[in-house]
Amino acid sequence: MHLYIHVPFCARRCSYCDFAIAVRREVPSAAFQATVLREWEGWQSHPAWADSPGLDTVYFGGGTPSRLDPSAIEALLAGFRACRPLAADAEITLEANPDDVTPARVEQWARAGINRVSLGAQSFSEAALGWMHRTHDADQIGRAVATVREAGIHNLSLDLIYGLPDSVRRDWTLDLDRALALEPTHISLYGLTIEAGTPLGRWTARGDSPAPSDERAAGEYLEAHASLGKAGYEHYEVSNAALPGFRARHNLGYWNRRPFIGLGPSAHSGFHQTRCWNVREWQEYRIRSEAGQPVRADQEELRADQIELEELYLGLRTTEGISVTTVPAGVLTAWGEAGWALARGGRLRLTALGWLRLDPLVASLTHC
């Protein structure tokens, strides 16, 4: 089983963010800890555990989990362990903003059991960080990396965002160079998207900010793919690259359709054909929990054709690919000639060019 905890608290909403977050000056760490452990206890009798009695990975995502009091993180992990065994080599990840990283905090994270940190760097450009409403500056990224390593956590991932509007004047090549110079074990690449209701969505609607260029985004993605490969990273999933031996096990669980439980507001869970999700907002989640009411918002049972589509999509996201027997011969030929895919060893794998077209390529298979 894989366990995800959604920590919604942030100091500020980023300009592009449409996640379920709660902006708080003071983080209610104790209340969050109690509410999540209450939900966790309710999962213990669920039949989803039948095939997976223990935990292989734990992932604190958000939001900004690094804003939680470290004692709450320690208490949460102790509560998880009290109910279910963790694998001896369990991957336990905490997402962190660079400005939250201090020697005292990281030492507490490490003592609690955190052995992987995912830093939300996003860019090394001061102009870009300001435009994104990030709370850190470029120099804090390098200092955070050094602090995490000094505490003995060497499995470290950096997030970068590509495809910013030309008007931001971010130098993507320099961003890649500075990220690679820090030698993280893992790098995640996210293309900027415009979501209605976000500050960026409003800027774009008013004409205050130009829409990101698809051509620029594609060029930056392909440049990152080439630079990462040259530096020894395996671009193993459409948005993720890692040094050998450092692929994100938690995310691989999702892509391989392993069972997972999500705790916290807006968190999703999945096992076999069942998908369920919690209420979105922190306040409703907390009020329901304290009143003894279910925090689950809804659930669905996937049909056979939905599972087949999910397997196609998830398979083509990774370098594992899908069996060539699931794709018509004409499609194999067309995709190969276009440079979108390679068929070897009985598997069809998308190239970086193909990953840029992932959604329409998967959609085209459903109409074959």
**pLDDT, tens digit (0-9, with 9 covering 90-100), for 148-198:** 999 999 999 999 999 999 999 999 999 999 999 999 999 999 999 988 889
Residue 249 has pLDDT above 80, yes or no: yes
Please, which pLDDT band fits residue 313 given cuts at 50, 70 and 90? very high
pLDDT over 80 at 216, yes or no? yes
pLDDT at 212: 83
The pLDDT of residue 368 is: 60
Cβ pair 12, 135 in contact under 8 A: yes
Q: Give the pLDDT score at 84.
A: 97
When pLDDT is averaged across residues 139-144 and rounded to a whole number, the result is: 98
Q: What angle do CA 22, 25, 29 make, to 5 degrees?
A: 70
- Cα separation, 215 vs 224, whole angstroms: 14
Q: Span 299-324, mean pLDDT?
A: 95
CA-closest candidate to residue 286, choices 301, 264, 260, 308: 264
The rounded mean pLDDT for the chain is 95
Give pLDDT, residue 210.
86
The CATH architecture assigned to 2-255 reads Alpha-Beta Barrel (3.20)
Confidence (pLDDT) at 197: 85
Q: What is the pLDDT of residues 57-85, one digit of tens each?
A: 999 999 999 999 999 999 999 999 999 99
**pLDDT more than 90, % of the chain:** 90
Tens of pLDDT, residue by residue over 151-165, are: 999 999 999 999 999
Is residue 49 within 8 A of residue 1, CB to CB? The reply is yes
Mean pLDDT of the region 134-141:
97
Kindly tell me if the per-residue pLDDT of 367 is higher than 80.
no
Task: Please tell me the least confidently modeled range out of 88-92, 208-212, 332-336.
Answer: 208-212
Distance CA 237, CA 247 (A): 9
Q: What is the mean pLDDT of residues 301-327?
A: 94
pLDDT, greater one: 368 or 21 = 21
Q: Please, what is the Cα angle at 113 between 148 and 154, to 5 degrees?
A: 30
pLDDT over threshold 70, residue 145: yes
For the chain, which residues make up each domain, given as ranges?
2-255, 304-365
